Structure 1
């Protein structure tokens, strides 16, 4: 599984994900300043798990019909403690990312939402 870390992720989070063994492409390194629309229009987007703090990806996918990544991990956690966010992401990924879903990560837990056109008995 390859992670695509949005530009808005702290470098400490990206470094930690890499240190524990995940393959991570960081938008800040590979295509700085890329627009969200361009990220979702990548030919390989369906193979990537997008990690972001940006809720605009949800709007692009659910309302505007943009292509979907393999999954989205959307954090709503406070950015004040990057190490805590990194630890939470590692734990979530190790439990298993749910393909064809956006997982919203909040202080109280996670919530899953299926991508458009995906039948889901989980919600």
Structure 2
């Protein structure tokens, strides 16, 4: 799976996903400082799942009706990075087919997948 990691995704998470065989494009490495709309456009062009901790993408996708190839919003504040990485990898592995064209929210206690 191709994943576009927003600037707010920790390096350890990106590395864990890459080590598991996923192609991860990092906004921090390749496009630091760009606006959210441009991030969403890159994800769409790459047909990538956007991995982010930024709730503003919900505004873009639902209120502004911008097209999305899939957003995975992580709400995992307080968890150590290794635990975040394993949880995110597990969600992507288990729900890969469902994540495309969906807006998914992950917390330590639940996963909510909403298809547009």
Q: Over residues 16-35 of structure 1, what are the superposed CA-to-partner deviations in whole Å (9 max), with x where a residue is unaligned?
A: 11111111000001100011
SS of 1:78 mapped into structure 2: coil
Query: What TM-score results when the alignment is normalised by the length of structure 1?
Result: 0.85
* Bigger proportion of residues as helix: 2
Q: In structure 2, how many angstroms separate the alpha carbons of the residues matched to 1:3 and 1:41? A: 13
Q: Over residues 2-25 of structure 1, what are the superposed CA-to-partner deviations in whole Å (9 max), with x where a residue is unaligned?
A: 000001001111111111111100
Q: Over residues 27-52 of structure 1, what are the superposed CA-to-partner deviations in whole Å (9 max), with x where a residue is unaligned?
A: 0011000110111223615x110100
- RMSD across aligned positions (CA): 1.4
Shift of 1:56: 0.4
Query: What TM-score results when the alignment is normalised by the length of structure 2?
Result: 0.90
Equivalence for 1:109: 110
Q: In structure 1, how many angstroms separate the alpha carbons of the residues matched to 2:18 and 2:56? A: 25
Unaligned runs of 5+ in 2: none
* Aligned 8 A contact 1:12 1:83 in 2: yes
Q: In structure 1, how many angstroms separate the alpha carbons of the residues matched to 2:5 and 2:84? A: 13
Report the structure number with the largest CA radius of gyration: 1
Unaligned runs of 5+ in 1: 116-123
